[in-house]
């Protein structure tokens, strides 16, 4: 099977590559349009900031290439967010493949321009929402072959401050302060907010399921 990973300026490509290797798959990391178009499956990873990731795609003409892909595509984390319409992260227009919005979790945080005093106002011991969401959370309402064999409430690993809003395209939910789309699908485009490549056996199974689509 010919698996291509989209090469652009986003992190964690290496981790996805290693995860596939553990499944016995040698993937190609490429930014070449023909190589992406001819792959059996395309994985679109990402860790980083949405606007610079979009800019990198545009500079390399990859935005148009990704939109036209016909084979199964799996966006991971920021890769998933970029499949959506728009992200609140630096007011970024995304690829618009899955027509949902990406918002910031409704909590203050330590990031960019928000001072500590401001961020402590909403805090009071346990039960506060720390942003980014870092850690193991559970997914439910699983409805896609992508989650074949995955029990409801399985734990998956998350690192993110922004989330895709719940919609008709949601194929898995997760709660963090509010219910959001842990995974989305439209046509041949799949996206998971969590990190399959770091989600232990559950993540391995989801990657395996994607490769079996």
Partner 1 sequence: MPVANTISALAKRIIPCLDIKDGRTVKGTNFVELRDAGDPVELAARYALEGADELVFLDITATVERRKTLADLVKRIAHRINIPFTVGGGIRSVEDVSVLLGSGADKVSINTAAFQNPELIAGIAKAAGSQCVVLAIDTRLEDDGEWYVYLNGGRTKTDAKCFEWAKKAVDLGAGEILLTSMNHDGTKAGFALDITRRLSDALPIPVIASGGGGNMQHFVDVFQDAHADAALAASIFHFKEIAIPDLKQHLKGYGIPVRI
Please give the residue ranges that form the binding site for partner 1 (CB under 8 A): 11-12, 14-15, 18-19, 21-22, 47-49, 107-111, 115-116, 119-120, 123-138, 140-141, 152-153, 155, 157, 159-160, 174-179, 195, 197-201, 203-204
Q: Which is nearer to partner 1, 63 or 89 (CB)?
A: 89
CB of 26 to partner 1, least distance (A): 13
CB of 48 or CB of 191, closer to partner 1: 48
Q: Give the total residue count for the chain.
A: 213
- Residue 180: count of CB within 10 angstroms of its CB: 21
| Cα distances (angstroms) measured from residue 80 to each of 6, 25, 53, 128, 195 | 13, 22, 12, 26, 11
CB of 37: closest distance to partner 1 in angstroms? Answer: 27
Provide CB contacts within 8 A for 11, sequence distance 6+. Answer: 46, 47, 48
- Sort 101 into a burial class: Cβ within 10 Å, 0-12 / 13-18 / 19+: middle
Phi, psi of 108 (to 5 degrees): -80, 165
User: Using an 8 Å Cβ cutoff, are 76 and 46 in contact?
Assistant: yes
Residue 195 is among the residues annotated as catalytic for this protein: yes
Is residue 86 annotated as a catalytic residue, yes or no?
no
Nearer to partner 1, 77 or 94 (CB): 77
77 given a catalytic annotation: yes
CA-angle at 82, arms to 133 and 70, nearest 5°: 130
Closer to partner 1 by CB, 110 or 212: give it.
Answer: 110
Provide the minimum distance between the beta carbon of 89 and partner 1 in the complex, in angstroms, as a whole number: 11
- Catalytic option among 84, 126, 195, 208: 195
Q: Which is nearer to partner 1, 73 or 174 (CB)?
A: 174
In whole angstroms, the minimum distance from the beta carbon of 8 to partner 1 comes to 15
Choice among 49, 89, 174, 197 that is catalytic: 197
Cα separation, 156 vs 194, in Å, equals: 6
Of 49, 77, 84, 94, the active-site residue reads: 77
Cα dihedral value 174, 179, 183, 187, nearest 10: 150
The answer to whether the CB of 189 falls within 8 A of the CB of 83 is: yes
Beta carbon of residue 58, minimum distance to partner 1 (angstroms, whole number): 21
The catalytic site residues sit at 77, 195, 197
């Amino acid at each position: 099977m010919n698996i291509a990973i989209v090469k652009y300026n986003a992190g964690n490509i290496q981790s996805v590559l290693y995860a596939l290797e553990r499944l016995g798959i040698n993937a190609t990391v490429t930014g070449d349009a023909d190589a992406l178009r001819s792959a059996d499956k395309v994985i679109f990873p990402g860790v980083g900031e949405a606007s610079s990731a979009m800019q990198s795609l545009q500079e390399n003409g990859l935005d148009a290439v990704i939109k036209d892909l016909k084979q199964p595509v799996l966006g991971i984390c920021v890769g998933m967010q970029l499949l959506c319409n728009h992200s609140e992260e630096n007011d970024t227009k995304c690829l618009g493949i899955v027509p949902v919005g990406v918002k910031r979790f409704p909590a203050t945080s330590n990031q960019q321009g928000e001072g500590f005093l401001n961020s402590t106002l909403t805090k009071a011991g346990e039960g506060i929402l720390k942003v980014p969401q870092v850690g193991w959370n559970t997914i439910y309402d699983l409805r896609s072959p992508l989650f074949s064999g995955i029990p409801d409430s399985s734990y998956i690993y998350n690192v993110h401050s922004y989330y895709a809003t719940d919609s008709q395209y949601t194929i898995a939910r997760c709660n963090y302060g509010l219910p959001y789309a842990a995974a989305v699908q439209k046509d041949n485009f799949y996206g998971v907010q969590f990190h399959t490549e770091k989600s232990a056996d559950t993540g391995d199974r989801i990657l395996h399921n994607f490769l079996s689509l």
